[in-house]
Amino acid sequence: MDTREKAKRLADYLRGLNDFEIVREEYCDHIGAILVDAILQAGANYDAVKERVDKIKNFSAARTTSGFIALAKRESINVLLCWEGRKPRRVLTIACFFKDEGVNTVSDLRRWLEAPNNPEKLIAMDGIGNKTVDYLKKLAGIPNTAIDRYWYRLLDEARIPHEGYSEAKQIADLTAEETGIDKASLDLGVWWYMRKKSRGPSCS
């Protein structure tokens, strides 16, 4: 079964799910919030991540890279995010990297990520992988899918074989094409559906 056939099978599987809904992605014009979201989310409880993202959104100065860096240095990034470990420092490191690259706004970030060789610069950095880069693209407003554990679980439930991140992403992207759903909305729809499913039925 080639990748296109796998995508067709996944599209049919999604059409057969009574409670699968498309969720439209809302883009954020706030560099600080985007960087916090992209770096903290890996392997974390997203409810906790969202609390930090919402907090950073309240700082209008952090809408730009330079403003976010100034805030993070003034407040101390670990204290600002109330988050232990290496991730807060990584957020600041990535922000400083983008500042050096001339990225100061979300539109700058979008253009930078769309340049063919730039994503590899991020992947070469500590703690940044393909999923984080793809998620960052999506947050910046580039239609994209970011393969996480929910995508892998969905593929397994649909009994669609896949080998590694690259093929799973190809299947996801082609599924968006097959269903006529933009990539970011399909990605978010899968995330919400699988997250709800993993939590089980709510009590009334």
pLDDT at 43: 82
C-alpha 162/C-alpha 106 separation (Å) is: 33
What's the N-to-C CA distance of the chain in angstroms? Answer: 43
Closest to 139 (Cα-Cα) out of 84, 197, 94: 94
91-150 pLDDT, tens digit per residue, is 999 999 999 999 999 999 999 999 999 999 999 999 899 999 999 999 999 999 999 999
On whether the pTM is more than 0.85, the answer is yes
156-174 pLDDT, tens digit per residue, is 999 999 999 999 999 999 9
Sign of CA dihedral 156, 158, 159, 161: negative
How large is the average pLDDT for residues 37-66? Answer: 94
pLDDT at 197: 85
C-alpha 151/C-alpha 156 separation (Å) is: 9
- Report the alpha-carbon angle 148-152-158, nearest 5: 145
Contact 125, 97 (CB under 8 A): yes
